[in-house]
Amino acid sequence: MLAVVKKPRIEISLSGSESAVVEMLEFLRSRYSVSVLEDNRIPDEEGSANAFETDFWRQTTPGALLQGYRLKHGFSQEQLAKKTGIGQTVLSAYENGKRPLSRRAAIKIGEALGENPEKFFRHVR
């Protein structure tokens, strides 16, 4: 199961016995806003939801995806700025939705992170 704590943004992979996973998820939900992005448990009678069809996913911006991938790769904004040649304040503006992420910037950032730049826009239809 893949769960995301929205603020602060943390991705957590939970595995083990169902009772242990449920207990940990309840603990996290008692303290944070949590979304389950992937649930590999056996689905109930109603089935499971497609993560790409959730409100959480529809509300995710290119900047939030950029921030998630930056953090996944262990970069600070300053480190990514040096590696891409894009100013740290510009990266911050992308991540906070104050400036739209251009395709050109996405390509530079994707190359620096070793990610396909299309991943920053995959929620846009």
Provide the pLDDT for residue 76.
94
Amino acid at 114: G
The whole-chain average pLDDT of the chain stands at 79
Mean pLDDT of 109-124: 83
Output b/e per residue, 59-69; b: 16+ Cβ within 10 A: ebbbbbbbbbb
Identify whether the C-beta of residue 22 lies closer than 8 Å to the C-beta of residue 81: no
Identify whether the C-beta of residue 34 lies closer than 8 Å to the C-beta of residue 5: yes
Radius of gyration, CA atoms only, the chain: 16
Q: Summarize pLDDT for 48-86 with one digit per residue, the tens.
A: 556 666 666 667 788 888 898 899 899 999 999 999 999
Q: Summarize pLDDT for 84-108 with one digit per residue, the tens.
A: 999 999 999 999 989 999 889 999 9
Provide the pLDDT for residue 91.
95
Where along the chain do its domains lie?
Answer: 2-47, 60-121
CATH class of 60-121: mainly alpha
pTM: 0.57
Return the percent helix, strand and coil in the chain, to nearest 5. Answer: 50, 10, 40
Measured in whole angstroms, the distance separating CA 10 from the mean position of its chain's CA atoms is 8
Asked whether residue 111 carries a pLDDT value surpassing 90, the answer given is: yes
Distance CA 65, CA 80 (A): 15
